[in-house]
Amino acid sequence: MSIPIVVPAELVARLRRATRVVALTGAGISAESGVPTFRDALTGLWAKFDPRELATPSAFARNPKLVWNWYAARRAALANVEPNPGHVALARMDALVPDFLLATQNVDGLHARAGSRRLVELHGNIARVKCSREHRVVDTWDAPADDDPPRCPHCGAFLRPDVVWFEEMLPEDALARAEDASRRADGTLVVGTSAEVYPAAALPRYARAAGARVVEVNPEDTPLSGIADDVLRAPAGLALPALVDAVWPGCASASAPPTPHAADTPRR
């Protein structure tokens, strides 16, 4: 039985008029693709680890093999997942809203695979690997004879995933684009994030201060629920297609590819 999603008429009217929309997504949007969120207990081999404690430079310094293997297992699992209707609905919005930006905290690459083009990845991308010393992205490396992480072909330091761990700076350009879009937005969507990790969690507050309508899509309450004008308490894979269909009737289809407009619009 599917949950009926009620999209308030005032929200429909506001989003239909909106020309500058920014969406912030977190792990929850990929949950329906089968990617575990950070708050979910991990399964199998990884059940005894707290993901938030593995995603730190000190965890990697202490036990590079453990952290490398955790990311390798997640990378392998991602090979078997597909974008879901929530990702597709945001790719549709990219094609429909003149000035749109999707800022994701996710490293899984599913938004790009769904067709989102005006996209910034605030916490990097798990598919890329970089040198842990010089931070140069590395495309190929030799599998080590032992079980340690592979080594940088240039300097011999361990390689690591090109993601942002706690206490590390976010990519400057990605963060600047997300902050700029938020400060100019007239509508903002906050989807599938616990909104506890900064600086990403501050973005909807900038949009709110700029006068944007704030829409949260999350089955659970978050620290941002209190500033949201509308809260859709439903899984993103149901709520986002319903939202897009209510605002732009007939445009939420999962099968229709994004229009050329999105891909051709220069990045701002």
* Binding residues for ligand BJW (CB under 6 A): 26-29, 31-32, 37-39, 52, 55, 105, 107, 123, 163-169, 192-194, 196-199, 217-220, 222, 235-236
Least Å from the CB of residue 126 to ligand BJW: 6
Compute the least distance from the CB of residue 127 to ligand BJW, in Å. Answer: 12
User: Of 38 and 46, which CB lies nearer to ligand BJW in the complex structure?
Assistant: 38
The nearest distance, CB 255 to ligand BJW, in angstroms, is: 21
3-state helix, strand, coil in the chain (%, to 5): 40, 15, 45
Contact 28, 218 (CB under 8 A): yes
Q: What is the DSSP letter of 162?
A: E
Q: Which is nearer to ligand BJW, 38 or 153 (CB)?
A: 38
CA-based torsion, 47, 50, 55, 58: positive or negative = negative
**Does 135 participate in catalysis according to the annotation?**
no
Residue with smallest beta-carbon separation from ligand BJW: 28
Residue 28 contacts residue 191 (beta carbons within 8 Å): yes
Q: Least distance to ligand BJW from the beta carbon of 187, Å? A: 18
Pairwise CA distance, residues 65 & 9, whole Å:
52
Instruction: Using the minimum distance from each CB to ligand BJW, give the nearer residue, 128 or 265.
Output: 128
Q: Do 197 and 172 contact (CB within 8 A), yes or no?
A: no
State the catalytic residues: 123
